[in-house]
Amino acid sequence: MQVVDFPLISDPKVWAMRVQECHECLVDLKDLGFNISLARASYYDGYTKVRQTVADKLVQAQALLPQGMVFLFSEGHRPVSLQREMYQEYYSVLAAANPEWDEEILKQETVKFVAPPQDVPPHSTGGAIDITLLDAEGREVDMGGILDETPDKNEYRNFTAATNISSQAKANRQILINVLSQAGFVNYPAEWWHWSYGDKYWAYHARRPYAIYGSV
């Protein structure tokens, strides 16, 4: 187990954030025609959908990248039903690997990587994205770990501030941090690839009075 010094998505302070839905539409990145790779976005058709403002902010962030680099987009919208399946699957993996853990520990460890499905999971809002970078030759840059790799497999290198990665990987993560932060996204520190705008975690981190996106 890894002690964390940041609020998890399941933290009661995050859950307590109100949602004042703005009813902004979902748009499909496949239809927008800007320079972003969707090669990883194949889990199901809706994965390339995000809220309109999220798409606009991705365009802004793309313009800030070093010349030749582009985003490799992995996931946007995810329905609550699929979130529930993913949560239970990872819970079961941890339970099988750690039979000494009680239910409370299993829940604590599961939510470090998979948001619980019962309270507006970030991806269900269309405001959360999973994203990395490609270089000028179209290769994924070294981020010190594989996008979506679970912490039980990578010694917690999925944490954004991980120290057990190379200096090049740290520099590449900083590029991602700089451009997405400037565009208005916030990072979930347990996953270097997970960023959001408009959801509860964004509202909490940005000290907004409420989230503007609920589950859709």
Query: Is residue 194 a known part of a binding site?
Result: yes
Residue 123 marked ligand-binding: yes
Q: Which of 85, 89, 137, 191 is catalytic?
A: 191
210-211 and 18-19 beta bridge pairing: parallel
**Is 191 part of the annotated catalytic residue set?**
yes
Instruction: State how far the Cα of 213 lies from the Cα of 120, in Å rounded to an integer.
Output: 9
Which pair of tokens denotes residue 146?
């594989």
Whole-Å CA distances, 192 to 27, 157, 163, 169: 24, 9, 13, 11
Residue 77, annotated as binding a ligand: no
CB atoms within 10 A of CB 202: 26
Record the tokens describing residue 176, joined without a space: 């991602």
In DSSP notation, 41-98 reads --SSGGGGEEEHHHHHHHHHHHHHSPTT-EEEEEE----HHHHHHHHHHHHHHHHHH-
| Class of residue 31 by CB neighbours under 10 A (exposed 0-12, middle 13-18, buried 19+) | exposed
> What span, in angstroms and rounded, lies between the C-alpha atoms of 34 and 29?
8
Q: Which residues are annotated as a binding site for Zn(2+)?
A: 123, 130, 194
Active centre residues (catalytic): 191
Q: Which residues are annotated as a binding site?
A: 123, 130, 194
